[in-house]
Amino acid sequence: MRMSPETFRTIRVMYGLTQQEYADLLGCSVSLVSKIEKGHRNLTYDIRFKVLDSFPLTKDVLARISTLQMELNEGVSIL
């Protein structure tokens, strides 16, 4: 499953991590985390694997995150 920059960021925020903490966990730089979140760099296979390995994220959870993001972008009330 593809992981969008928004999903990458949402996972970080869901777990209450700063960009520095996320970068440390993933073994990359804060600059790379920032660029991925902004869509300026692609999420590499290695970073994506580390995200999926570090957090209990099933395909269903990732799909729900994506759905919620789309609904928020469209202005649909999710509450």
Q: Identify the CATH number of the domain in which residue 55 sits.
A: 1.10.260.40
- Report yes or no on 79 lying in a domain: no
Per-residue pLDDT of 10-52, as tens digits, reads 999 999 999 999 999 999 999 999 999 999 999 999 999 999 9
Tokens of 64: 């729900």
- The pLDDT of residue 75 is above 80: no
- Report yes or no on 14 lying in a domain: yes
Q: What is the pTM of this model?
A: 0.81
- Report yes or no on 58 lying in a domain: yes
45: containing domain:
5-74
Q: How far apart (Å, rounded) are the C-alpha atoms in residues 43 and 47?
A: 6
- Number of domains the chain contains: 1
- Report yes or no on 50 lying in a domain: yes
- Mean pLDDT (whole number) for 48-69: 89
Residue 52 or residue 79, greater confidence: 52
End-to-end CA distance of the chain: 26
pLDDT score recorded for residue 79: 52
CB 18 within 8 A of CB 46: no
